[in-house]
């Protein structure tokens, strides 16, 4: 039986709608407008696209968007000065420094200079520690988006076997923490994992975040499992014409969809959830800063 397709695009639109409603209420009832500052260093084309898209969706949700574009040659101290200025700005509730930074910068140092309560990417060491110890934190956007999709699919995740493929700080590790927080039995697999197909076959939930095109075939998937494909890989697509490419996930969609109970497509699955969760995190940060109730269903 073909798997149910989890429509991340539609779900993300719903999340953005809920954020926008809450933002409108904050304005009406308290005269507050949440603000997100995005800092871009250099001219990386992919980063420029992300930043534009983030700014556009921030404004569409009724929030203020502040963009700081710095030259690739800016010194680390100058960047840190911008971060400090944003930390102190009461109109800014969320700060995101677009990664990767140029090679002469220490990314950890820059991220840890962001005020933790404004760290809407959830990468600050204090937020990482808080997530790991089950305390209220800012949660990284992509894993938060995956969690929302899984909760919408299953309600309670308690007791389910979850396998997270990948152990990056951005996706794999926080994803595993979130699933553990929802009482899954969690396995984190990586490039040294033995018998990976067998490990994946035990999973009721598979989250694939490895960055290897179509690495997970359908015969690794337990029948009926829910598959969340985080991977975004561009591959050649000669069938579309010379020099053309297309996006695929880390899961071989065609064969996995034959076996899984539900699956996210690429594109249109996890991808759109990431910016939606960035907006949700900015709203959450604003509510926390003003001691107002947090939006329901938009945090971990």
CB of 143 to ligand NDP, least distance (A): 9
What is the nearest approach in angstroms of ligand NDP to the Cβ of residue 216? 9
Q: How many CB atoms lie within 10 A of CB 25?
A: 13
Block residue for tokens 């490039």: 191
- Between vectors from CA 167 to CA 149 and to CA 212, what angle results, nearest 5°? 80
51 part of the interface to ligand NDP, by CB under 6 A: no
CA-wise closest residue to 163 among 80, 280, 47, 251: 251
**Which CB sits closer to ligand NDP, 33 or 233?**
233
Cβ burial, residue 135 (10 Å; 0-12/13-18/19+): exposed
- The Cα–Cα gap between 253 and 213 comes to 10
Which of 57, 118, 119, 121 is catalytic? The answer is 121
For ligand NDP, the closer CB: 158 or 191: 191
- To the nearest whole angstrom, how small is the minimum distance from the Cβ of residue 141 to ligand NDP? 7
Q: Which of 9, 154, 212, 288 binds ligand NDP (CB under 6 A)?
A: 212
User: Between residues 102 and 211, which has the closer beta carbon with respect to ligand NDP?
Assistant: 211
Catalytic annotation, pick one of 54, 118, 173, 222: 54
Question: By beta-carbon distance, which residue lies closest to ligand NDP?
Answer: 168
Active site residue 240: no
CB of 210 to ligand NDP, least distance (A): 4
- 98 catalytic residue (yes or no): yes
Q: Applying CB under 6 A, does 146 fall inside the site for ligand NDP?
A: no
Q: What residues between 152 and 171 interact with ligand NDP by CB under 6 A?
A: 165-168, 170-171
Q: In this structure, are residues 184 and 158 in contact, taking their beta carbons and an 8 Å threshold?
A: yes
Integer Cα distance of 94 and 35 in angstroms: 6
CB atoms within 10 A of CB 30: 12
SS3 8: helix
Site for ligand NDP in 243-272 (CB under 6 A): 270-271
From 19-27, 44-52, 74-82, 205-213, give the range in contact with ligand NDP by CB under 6 A: 205-213
3-state SS, one letter per residue, for 244-299: CEEEECCECHHHHHHHCCEECCCCCCCHHHHHHHHHHHHHHHHHHHCCCCCCCCCC
Q: Bridge partners of 11?
A: none
Q: Which of 37, 86, 203, 209 binds ligand NDP (CB under 6 A)?
A: 209
Report how far residue 136's alpha carbon sits from residue 289's, in angstroms, rounded to the nearest whole number. Answer: 13
Q: Please report how close the Cβ of residue 226 comes to ligand NDP at its closest, in angstroms.
A: 16
Minimum gap (Å) between residue 175 Cβ and ligand NDP: 9
236 noted as active-site residue: no
**Site of interaction with ligand NDP (CB under 6 A):** 142, 165-168, 170-172, 189-193, 196, 209-212, 230-233, 270-271, 274
The residues that are catalytic are: 54, 98, 121
């Amino acid at each position: 039986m073909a798997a149910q397709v989890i429509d991340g695009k539609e779900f993300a639109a719903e999340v953005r709608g809920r954020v926008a409603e809450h933002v409108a209420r904050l304005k009406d009832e308290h005269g507050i407008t949440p603000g997100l500052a995005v800092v871009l260093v250099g001219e990386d084309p992919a980063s420029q696209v992300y930043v534009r898209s983030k700014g556009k969706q921030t404004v569409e949700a009724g929030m203020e968007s502040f963009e700081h574009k710095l030259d690739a040659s800016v010194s680390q101290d100058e960047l840190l000065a911008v971060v400090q200025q944003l930390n102190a700005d009461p109109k800014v509730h969320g700060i995101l420094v677009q990664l990767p930074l140029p090679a002469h910068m220490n990314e950890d140092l820059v991220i840890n200079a962001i005020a933790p309560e404004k760290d809407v990417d959830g990468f600050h060491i204090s937020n990482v520690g808080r997530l790991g110890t089950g305390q209220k934190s800012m949660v990284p956007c992509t894993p938060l988006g995956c969690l929302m999709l899984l909760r919408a699919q299953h309600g309670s995740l308690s007791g389910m076997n979850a396998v997270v493929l990948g152990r990056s700080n951005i996706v794999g590790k926080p994803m595993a923490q979130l699933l553990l927080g929802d009482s899954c039995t969690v396995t984190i697999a990586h490039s040294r994992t033995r018998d990976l197909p067998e490990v994946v076959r035990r999973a009721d939930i598979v989250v694939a975040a490895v960055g290897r095109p179509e690495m997970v075939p359908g015969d690794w998937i337990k029948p009926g499992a829910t598959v969340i494909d985080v991977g975004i890989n561009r591959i050649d697509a000669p069938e579309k014409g010379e020099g053309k490419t297309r996006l695929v996930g880390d899961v071989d969609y065609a064969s996995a969809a034959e076996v899984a109970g539900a699956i996210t497509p690429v594109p249109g699955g996890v991808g759109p959830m990431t910016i939606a969760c960035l907006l949700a995190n900015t709203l959450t940060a604003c509510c926390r800063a003003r001691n107002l109730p947090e939006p329901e269903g938009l945090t971990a």
